[in-house]
Chains A and B, each alone.
Chain A
Amino acid sequence: MSAEKAERLERARQLMMAALDGELASGEREELDRLLAGEPELRSEWDRLHEVKEVTDAMSLRRPPEETWEMYFESVYNRAERGFAWILLSMGAIVMTGWALWVGLEELWGTADLPTYVKIAIYAMLLGLAVLLLSVIREKLFVRKTDPYKEIQR
């Protein structure tokens, strides 16, 4: 397809959208008619898009029950409050868990009366947890590459 034709098609498609949505500027209707008359495939595309527009025009989003709105803001405010509490709780929990883990490992290292195989088992368990965590992170990264939502910013 020549660059000129591609440009003409793109222009026609934009005009078709504007025509369907009642956003044509003055003079554009004639331009669209000329383009449609010159390209039979565009005319059939126009008919299809027109049908889709008619179908979607006949639809609206379903209205929720009226009581939905009565406690809407209270729920928003409660969420905001709880969100702050969760942040504090999580920060505290992370610091305490990290500290407890560190102290525990230090004590474990220095405990002479604990059988070696128990020490090895505990270290193996922690290593396993770390590997699992890394594996989940790697999978998430892999999924992102093939995810149709990847272009959507988090």
Chain B
Amino acid sequence: MELTLDRPAPVGDRELLLRTQSGEREAFGELVRVYMRRAYYAALGLVGSHEDALDLSQEAFARAFRARNRIDPELPFYTWYYQILRRLCFNHNRNRRTRRDRLRQNSEWLAEEAGQRAPADNPQRAAERAETRRRVQQGIAQLKPAEREILVLKEFEGLKYKEIARLLGIPIGTVMSRLYTARRHLADLLEGGP
């Protein structure tokens, strides 16, 4: 998956933002349609439920729309939008009640890649894979927010280190260190360790 986070802003973004700022509602609609899937998946990785991911990604777009006149059209829209989205997701997770509900529901937000699926006539293998998936989901849900975020951006959004660094505003070395910590914690959790 490719993300264009390098400056300057993608030509399409810039034009759509300028049109949005001049009062063209449909231009913002086009921007939303460009990024809605990516936004939804980013939120899904952070909060782990379809309904919440949909709700939070839409809310972030609504806030971006309300603040449209403060957006710099020369900068990539998604980088700016993602700051709103991640704050909403972290605040959502901060709420103790929703965090407990999320863990209890253990929602099915991960799927197996098509090529990894067990054949239908091998129920034992399918059960093993389902168990692994469940443990990975639980393991990721138990990671610290910053670790979970970096793992999601790398593993499920497929971003390059440079892109993650730009999105989060941290050096590439920190991206690698944080990713290492996240994977090591996930390994501990999958092994039933600390």
10 residue pairs, one from A and one from B, having the closest CB atoms: A79-B62, A152-B90, A149-B94, A80-B62, A58-B116, A14-B176, A76-B61, A62-B111, A80-B65, A13-B180
Least distance between B154 CB and chain A CB atoms (Å): 7
Q: Give the interface residue-count category, chain A.
A: 35 or more
13 contacts between A and B (CB under 8 A): A13-B177, A52-B186, A56-B151, A60-B111, A60-B113, A62-B108, A64-B50, A64-B54, A76-B32, A79-B59, A79-B61, A149-B90, A151-B145
| Complex CA–CA separation, A140 to B157 (angstroms) | 34
**Cβ B154 vs Cβ A21 within 8 A:** yes
Least distance between B87 CB and chain A CB atoms (Å): 6
Question: Chain A residues with Cβ under 8 A from B16's Cβ?
Answer: none
Question: Chain B residues with Cβ under 8 A from A72's Cβ?
Answer: 32-33, 36, 58
Binds A, one of B2-10, B37-45, B119-127: B37-45
Chain B at the A interface: mostly helix, strand, loop or mixed? helix
**Cβ A59 vs Cβ B111 within 8 A:** yes
| Complex CA–CA separation, A62 to B44 (angstroms) | 9
B187 interface neighbour in A49, A60, A64, A73, Cβ under 8 Å:
A49
Question: Chain B residues with Cβ under 8 A from A56's Cβ?
Answer: 136, 151, 155, 186
**Cβ B110 vs Cβ A49 within 8 A:** no
Q: Give the interface residue-count category, chain B.
A: 35 or more
Q: Is A39 an interface residue (CB 8 A)?
A: no
With both beta carbons as reference points, the residue of chain B lying nearest to A68 in the complex is identified as: B54
Q: Is A30 an interface residue (CB 8 A)?
A: no
Q: Is A98 an interface residue (CB 8 A)?
A: no
Q: Is B170 an interface residue (CB 8 A)?
A: no
Given that A13-B180, A49-B187, A80-B65 are known contacts, is A59 also in contact with B112, CB under 8 Å in the complex? yes
Q: Is B63 an interface residue (CB 8 A)?
A: yes
A69 interface neighbour in B37, B45, B61, B136, Cβ under 8 Å:
B37
**Cβ B177 vs Cβ A149 within 8 A:** no
Question: Chain B residues with Cβ under 8 A from A49's Cβ?
Answer: 180, 183-184, 187
Question: Chain B residues with Cβ under 8 A from A116's Cβ?
Answer: none
Interface residues of A in 1-53 (CB under 8 A from B): 10, 13-14, 16-18, 20-21, 23, 45, 48-49, 51-53
